[in-house]
Amino acid sequence: MNVTVRYFAGARAAAGVEEEPASANTLSELRSQLAEAHGGHLEKVLTACSFLVNGVAARDFETPLPAGGTVDVLPPFAGG
């Protein structure tokens, strides 16, 4: 499925882009594609990231991605 991937904070820095289109059937497939496309630094960041699919936290990486959806890549945030 075609989705828009949006990167935030450290994930954005590791990917080198703010957002990009991608085509994957599941979140697991998408993570693999992004790591391959952007290299080892993003791959490391992705292991610590949370993902939102159309604004909802995705916990099952085998859930199908919705066509035309948005996947937000959120690294851990520090703050208080």
Share of the chain above pLDDT 70, in %: 96
Instruction: Please return the burial class of 9, using the count of CB atoms within 10 Å of its CB with bins 0-12, 13-18 and 19+.
Output: middle
Instruction: Give Dmax (Cα) for the chain.
Output: 37
Total domain count, the chain: 1
Per-residue pLDDT at 15: 94
Rounded mean pLDDT, 8-35: 95
Specify if 56 maps to a domain.
yes
Q: How confident is the model at residue 39 (pLDDT cuts 50, 70, 90)?
A: confident
> How confident is the model over 37-62, as a mean pLDDT?
92
In this prediction, residue 78 carries a pLDDT of: 57
List the domain range (segments joined by +) for residue 26.
Answer: 2-74
- CA pair distance 22, 76, nearest whole angstrom: 23
The model's confidence at residue 63, banded by pLDDT at 50, 70 and 90, is confident
Per the CB < 8 A criterion, the answer to whether 66 and 30 are in contact is no
| Residue 79 domain flag | no
Whichever domain contains 65, its CATH number is 3.10.20.30
